[in-house]
């Protein structure tokens, strides 16, 4: 019993770095929206997401322990009618998440305003039973309030070594314009696979954080 309680507390304290992955827009987060998580100092992440009319490659790294910078390059099919563009992003962790208080971060996506510059404030908090909630406010793509909820299945299996199925995080988010849904599987440490429904279209991808 004591081991189970300890494992649950450890999971709550470490869920952010364990499951941190880039969003489609490049910043560490969910599907379309950022979380309050930033990569740990010296970490970097690579990701690729296949969209219905193209794809996006992401690269994000941590420079100072609290400052995360990166880019997301959108490349569309010739018949999509959309122009290619690259977001340059930055996010700063203001307050780290604790057992009792949420983490808070501020950030900007598409700093060069090649598509739609977006500034935001986001907050994230882990809850018991594998749930985690996120909420924020921003302009540009987020058009006001955005929010999300995650539910991680089989988190204790990872900690005890008895898991028979990769830890999977189910995601539902409101990005200010659309409801998006997805699943993120932690296949091996650092490697995650994503699949879901974004902006009324199916997407899938993979990311690696080191």
Query: What values do phi and psi take at 10, rounded to 5?
Result: -60, -40
Query: What values do phi and psi take at 201, rounded to 5?
Result: -135, 150
Planar angle of CA 133, 137, 139, nearest 5 degrees: 140
CB 119 within 8 A of CB 107: yes
What is the reported pLDDT for 64?
86
What residue spans define the domains of the chain? 2-209
CATH topology of domain 2-209: Porin (2.40.160)
What is the reported pLDDT for 69?
97
The Cα–Cα gap between 54 and 5 comes to 45
What is the reported pLDDT for 89?
98
Question: For 82-93, what is each residue's pLDDT tens digit?
Answer: 889 999 999 999
- Partners of 58 in the beta sheet? 47, 72
- 110, two tokens: 């598409």
What is the reported pLDDT for 94?
97
Question: For 155-185, what is each residue's pLDDT tens digit?
Answer: 555 454 555 567 899 999 999 999 999 999 9
- Partners of 180 in the beta sheet? 173
pLDDT per residue rounded down to tens, the chain (210 residues): 544 444 444 444 444 444 589 999 999 999 999 999 999 999 999 999 999 899 999 999 998 889 999 999 999 998 888 889 999 999 999 999 999 999 999 999 999 999 999 999 999 999 998 899 999 999 999 989 999 999 998 755 545 455 556 789 999 999 999 999 999 999 888 999 999 999 999 999 999 999
């Amino acid at each position: 019993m004591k081991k189970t309680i300890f494992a649950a507390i450890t999971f709550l304290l470490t869920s952010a770095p364990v499951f941190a992955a880039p969003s489609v827009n490049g910043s560490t987060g969910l599907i379309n929206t950022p979380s309050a998580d930033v990569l740990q100092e010296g970490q970097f992440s690579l990701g690729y997401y296949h969209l219905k009319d193209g794809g996006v490659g992401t690269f994000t790294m941590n420079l100072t322990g609290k400052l995360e910078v990166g880019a997301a390059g959108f490349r569309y099919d010739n018949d999509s009618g959309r122009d290619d563009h690259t977001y340059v992003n930055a996010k700063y962790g203001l307050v780290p998440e604790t057992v009792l208080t949420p983490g808070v971060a501020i950030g900007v996506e598409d700093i060069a305003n090649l598509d739609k510059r977006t500034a935001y404030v986001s907050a994230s908090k882990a809850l018991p039973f594998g749930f985690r909630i996120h909420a924020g406010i921003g302009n540009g793509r987020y058009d006001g309030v955005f929010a999300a909820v995650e539910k991680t299945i089989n988190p204790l299996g990872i900690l005890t070594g008895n898991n028979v199925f990769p830890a999977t995080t189910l995601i539902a988010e409101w990005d200010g314009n659309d409801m998006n849904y997805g699943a993120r599987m932690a296949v091996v440490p650092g490697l995650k696979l994503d699949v879901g429904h974004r902006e009324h279209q199916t997407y899938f991808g993979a990311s690696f954080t080191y």
